[in-house]
Amino acid sequence: MHPAIKLFSAATLFTLSCATQAAPIYNVNNGQLAGISNLEVGGSLYNVIIGDGSYTGIFGTTSDFADSASAENAANAIVTALRSASALPAGINSDIALVNGCNGSGGECDIFIPFGVQYASPSFPGQNEVALWDSYLRLGHVGVGWETQTANIPTNLSTSNFGNATYAKFNLVTSIPEPSSLVLFATGLVGLWGRKLKSKIIPSL
């Protein structure tokens, strides 16, 4: 095989392997899902921590996502990951007690993903609320598994008081190169190799 073809093949395999290293990693603690690493949302990778607390205690005053569409994408990414046949712990697509912060009470498990900024609550005077997307698993939805919905919650209310709800904190890791960028990278490597080879064969005068 021509050396240039070998180099192009090697470079392509390398860049494609980088793109496929984004498979989610399920972080399990004491038999419950405590987070998901390398979760792709909108072309970026996030390390997600799942656990109890209040909005103000976990996020302060700023949500991880600025708008509803971004939070919806995040909720769908969690749903896709938990519906996967390789999801851990085993049975998480049907057991509401396998997520950190959910103990099986209330007939469902909700994973809250807030977006935007908090606002004065129209229902609870003197309190603030925040809108959110909710990845949830509800008993009785046979064969459906995890789903998504919208909701809102008082910012000072801790999910540890519920037993059937928890928060997801998204920590940005990196952006994922698009396939076209990977091909350009591989082509650039071949071009550099070709220039170096040409300079050896035809020395500059």
In this structure, are strands 128-138 and 108-114 parallel, antiparallel, or unpaired? antiparallel
Answer yes or no: is 135 within a domain.
Answer: yes
The pLDDT assigned to 174 comes to 81
pLDDT tens, residue by residue, 55-65: 999 999 999 99
The pLDDT assigned to 141 comes to 76
In this structure, are strands 32-41 and 44-51 parallel, antiparallel, or unpaired? antiparallel
Cis peptide before 89 (omega within 30 of 0): yes
Rounded to two decimals, the pTM is: 0.77
The pLDDT assigned to 39 comes to 97
Ranges of the chain with pLDDT below 70: 1-22, 142, 175-205
Answer yes or no: is 187 within a domain.
Answer: no
Report which secondary-structure segment, H or E, holds 205: none
Answer yes or no: is 18 within a domain.
Answer: no
Q: Which domain holds residue 152?
A: 23-177
Counting the structural domains of the chain, the total is 1
- Burial (CB < 10 A; 0-12, 13-18, 19+), residue 154, is middle
